[in-house]
Structure 1
Amino acid sequence: MLTVSNLVKQYGKQKAVNDVSFHLDGGEVVGLLGPNGAGKSTTMKCIVGLLRKTAGEITIGGHDHLSVEAKRFFSYIPETPYVYDLLTVWEHMQFIAQAYGVKDWKGRANELLELYELDDKQKKLGRDLSKGMRQKVSICCALLPDPQLLFFDEPMIGLDPKAIKNTKEVFRNLKQAGKTILVSTHLIDSVEAIADRVMIMKDGRIIGNDSIDNLRAQAAQGGEGLSLEDLFLELTKDE
């Protein structure tokens, strides 16, 4: 579904992403973890085409990641949600449906807005939404086209507890439907319950890429029984 080969993103002499390679299969939920400045968001932005990569190859569904064919495969939810100031919540859904050619979309749109408690905010303009509501609209827009691959960059930031719980349930349902999800997050406990695999980044490189159990085995002696948070701190600590 997604193949990243030798990805490099360089700013001057600084490599924000340094020779990163990984593969995502269909139906996987993969957590992308790392401290601030590790390169998680930069990696994701290169994949979806918001940043121009310095080197490397990225394919989505067998197509170059910048092609129209590839863009039909995925949705992207950014860390900072962007909405159109002068479109209402409902008009955002309508816009996405038209852009992706989604037929009979209104029923699904109503379900998503109700799930995220936006059904009574349908006529509200984007400029009048709180950050949390913008995040909810962003997630609803991403889910409406029913993509095969979803990229979530810090999806829980700004969400209330009920919306976080609902988003975790959305992840489980997407996984059962055979969708592929890459989640970049600092909220480690939210990934531990749903991820098949985690990738841990540090200084622009992936230093761990395996199931949680296998990473525990690779961690420092006494790693048996470590929580994902303990494991993360063990692998990313400065030598």
Structure 2
Amino acid sequence: MIKVDDLTKEYHKVLAVNNMSFQVEDGQIAILLGPNGAGKSTTIKCITGLLRYKGSIEIEGYENKTVDAKRVFSYVPETPSLYDMLTVYEHLEYIASAYNVKNYEEKVDLLLKRFELEDKKYKLGKELSKGMQQKVSICCGLLTNPKVILFDEPMIGLDPKAIKELKKVFLELKENGCSVIISTHIIDSIDEIWDKAIIINKGNIVIQTTRDELDKKKESLEEIFFEVTEG
């Protein structure tokens, strides 16, 4: 589970995130939505420990910047950041070593096969297309068997087959009790898999809702999104 309480972040007296609170339960897929400049990127950077902030963020009961929290947390950024001179396989070996993942070889092979990277395993990071780099980044995020995982625009640059496979991964993570957060602009891309939606605008959460709540009201997520962000 990830729990965010009273998260506030200012940049030179500009309030980017205002007293934001939400949580994502074990086995739940939450999507973080908002127009450009809403505060999504700042929220993500706070969760990942890249920014100082006011408030509290706990991952599986641990303060998010602690080693204990980082052991059970994975982050797949919007823009992949691979090492130019490491091969695809070496990236995964590095992550396995950093997180002390034992007997990782079989899982690495399965991930490479699943995302059609088998023939790229000895390619250097700098030799890969953006889509291939994104696949490697996803594989690295999954290798550690996280309890909480955050995906930032994970489908950008992926081919249709990889997108289909990634959606299966989201559901498998859910079934395994993982807390999944997906930040995206493309509502249609995740319309069939989300459990909870957190919509933010101008640094504030303007609505939190679940699929069941919207189904009862016979409203679509897209309708709600435009209603609360555009009035």
Q: TM-score, normalised by structure 2?
A: 0.96
Distance 1:151 1:49 in 2: 12
Distance 1:216 1:38 in 2: 26
Aligned to 2:95: 96
Q: 1:167 is matched by which residue type in structure 2?
A: L
Q: 2:146 is matched by which residue type in structure 1?
A: P
Greater CA deviation, 117-126 or 185-194?
185-194
Superposition misfits of 4+ residues, deviation over 2 angstroms: 212-217, 224-227
How far apart are 1:229 and its partner, in Å? 1.6
Distance 2:158 2:52 in 1: 30
Contact kept? 1:208, 1:215, Cα under 8 Å: no
Query: What do the CA deviations read for 1:114-161 (whole angstroms, capped 9, x no partner)?
Result: 111111000110011111111100000000011111000111111111
Query: Does the C-alpha gap of structure 1 residues 216 and 202 become closer, same or farther in structure 2, counting only changes over 3 Å?
Result: farther
Q: 3-state SS of the aligned residue for 1:186?
A: coil
Aligned to 1:24: 24
Query: What do the CA deviations read for 1:30-52 (whole angstroms, capped 9, x no partner)?
Result: 01111111111210110111122
How far apart are 1:68 and its partner, in Å? 0.2
1:237 aligns with 2:230: yes
Q: 3-state SS of the aligned residue for 1:51?
A: coil
> Unaligned stretches of 5+ in structure 2?
none
Aligned to 2:38: 38
Q: 3-state SS of the aligned residue for 1:173?
A: helix
Contact kept? 1:216, 1:231, Cα under 8 Å: no
Q: 3-state SS of the aligned residue for 2:122?
A: coil
Distance 1:157 1:17 in 2: 25
How far apart are 1:213 and its partner, in Å? 4.3
Q: 2:92 is matched by which residue type in structure 1?
A: M
- Figure out how many residues of one structure are paired with residues of the other and give that number: 231
Distance 1:213 1:143 in 2: 28
Query: What do the CA deviations read for 1:18-72 (whole angstroms, capped 9, x no partner)?
Result: 110111111110011111111112101101111222x111111111110000101
Aligned to 1:155: 154
Distance 1:2 1:102 in 2: 22
Q: 3-state SS of the aligned residue for 2:167?
A: helix
Q: Please list, as runs of the form range in 1=range in 2, the aligned pairs for 1:1-239 lying within 5 A after superposition.
A: 1-53=1-53, 55-215=54-214, 224-238=217-231
Q: 3-state SS of the aligned residue for 2:162?
A: helix
Query: What do the CA deviations read for 1:176-208 (whole angstroms, capped 9, x no partner)?
Result: 111110110011022221111100010011111
Q: 3-state SS of the aligned residue for 2:80?
A: coil
Q: 3-state SS of the aligned residue for 2:79?
A: coil
Query: What do the CA deviations read for 1:89-135 (whole angstroms, capped 9, x no partner)?
Result: 00001001111111111110011111111110001100111111111
Contact kept? 1:29, 1:196, Cα under 8 Å: yes
Q: 2:41 is matched by which residue type in structure 1?
A: S
Distance 1:5 1:106 in 2: 38
How far apart are 1:235 and its partner, in Å? 1.5
Q: 1:200 is matched by which residue type in structure 2?
A: I
Greater CA deviation, 127-136 or 205-214?
205-214
Greater CA deviation, 228-237 or 68-77?
228-237
Q: TM-score, normalised by structure 1?
A: 0.93
